[in-house]
Structure formats: C-alpha cells, structure tokens
Amino acid sequence: MIDPCANVDERAHVAESATVWHLSHVREHATVGENCIVGRGAYIDIGVSVGNNCKIQNNALIYAPAVLEDGVFIGPAVVFTNDSYPRAVNRDGTMKSESDWDRKGVTVRRGAAIGAGAVVLGGVEIGEWALVAAGSVVTKDVPAHALVAGVPARRVGWVGRSGVTLQEEGGRMVDPADGTIYDVQSGVLRES
C-alpha cells in the first residue's frame, strides 16, 4: 500500500507487501523489500537498499548509499549522513556537484535497531542485532549485539536478538527474555 500523498519515484522498486505512508519520499532506484513499513514523512534517498521486514519510522532520513539488511528498525527522526566533509561550495567558491563529492553510506546489518533521534555518520556499519540508544550520535562502527549510547556513542552493554540487555551469569551473558547464552571473546559477542 502506497499512500496517495507519498512521493514514490516510478524508477524505485517497492515490494507489493510494503507500506509507504503519507508524505514519505522514496527516490529513484531505491528498493524497499517485502513487508516493510515506511512511516509518515520518511525520506529514502536515491539507490538506498532496504531489505525485507524493515520498519522505518516517521521522519527518518536515509541518505544514499545506505544499505539496510532484513529486519532492521529505524526509529522516528533518525538521520543517516553521507558526507564526511560537508560543504556547499568548493575552495574556489563554485557550487559543489556530484563529481566533487565522495558519498559514504551507512550499513545496518540484519536485525539491528536504531532509536529515535539518533544520528549515524556516513561510512559507519551497525552490526547484526545491535541497538543504538535514542539520541545517540554514532561516529564509528558498532559490533554485533552491542548496545551503544551517548554523544559520541559508546558501548554500554550487550543485547540479544530480543533487544533486551544481556545479564552476566557465571562469566557468560544471558538474554533474560529467552534464556539464550552468549560468550564474549576479544570484544566480540557470539551466541553459544
């Protein structure tokens, strides 16, 4: 379902099972996978790839060349940047053009979630099942299952696939929501 007030370019590919709400904008060559929900006023830039079963909440801004794998959650008013050195003009005062710009996209791996109002800088990768707390500014890669928060975002814990903070029990990490056990080795969390 595409709301009649949404702006979806005819060159974009939106799966029939996806929902694109009021005032959203899906640019040319973007792909939106099966069962996705694109909230009111969200912006999906040229060529952005959104996997299956993703939720992009109201007023999120996803700039190219971002990639969202399956099952990703993007909270309201999240912003993905794509320019490490933003300027409107070149050193000589001329307007920048596409050839003057080296875009760096955000990659969000399977099952990860980004909380409301977070900003993720271009070139950053958010690992599988990671959780970025609301209002965070992510300036570097986030490992799989990491819970990051703050400005700049730092790891403050680990989360399981449920999104619940893992608890340490006997030197191992346990998901209190489902009992899954994880081990941490050299700063990497892996399911046992």
| pLDDT tens for each residue of 134-170 | 999 999 999 999 999 999 999 999 999 999 999 999 8
pLDDT value for 190:
86
- What is the average pLDDT across 78-104? 90
Provide the sign of the torsion angle of the four alpha carbons 91, 94, 95, 100, taken in this order: negative
Q: Under a CB-based contact definition with an 8 Å cutoff, are residues 143 and 127 in contact?
A: yes
pLDDT value for 177:
93
What residue type is assigned to position 5 of the chain? Answer: C
pLDDT of 100-136, one tens digit each? 888 899 999 999 999 999 999 999 999 999 999 999 9
Answer yes or no: is pLDDT of 23 > 90.
Answer: yes
What integer best gives the mean pLDDT of the chain? 94
Q: What is the largest CA-CA distance in the chain?
A: 62
Given pLDDT bands bounded at 50, 70 and 90, which one contains residue 186? confident
Residue among 156, 122, 116, 106 nearest 136 (CA): 116
Domain map of the chain by residue range?
Answer: 7-87+96-159, 161-192
- What is the average pLDDT across 74-80? 98
pLDDT value for 164:
93
Given pLDDT bands bounded at 50, 70 and 90, which one contains residue 187? confident
Given pLDDT bands bounded at 50, 70 and 90, which one contains residue 84? confident
pLDDT value for 12:
96
pLDDT value for 35:
98
Using CA atoms, how far apart are residues 26 and 138, in angstroms rounded to an integer?
24
- Give how far the C-alpha of residue 29 lies from the chain's centroid of Cα atoms, to the nearest Å: 18
Topology (CATH level 3) of domain 7-87+96-159: UDP N-Acetylglucosamine Acyltransferase; domain 1 (2.160.10)
Using CA atoms, how far apart are residues 82 and 88, in angstroms rounded to an integer?
14
Structure tokens at 103: 């875009």
The H-or-E segment that residue 157 falls in is: strand 154-158
pLDDT value for 30:
97
Number of neighbours of residue 190 by Cβ within 10 angstroms: 11
- Percent of the chain clearing pLDDT 70 (strictly above): 100
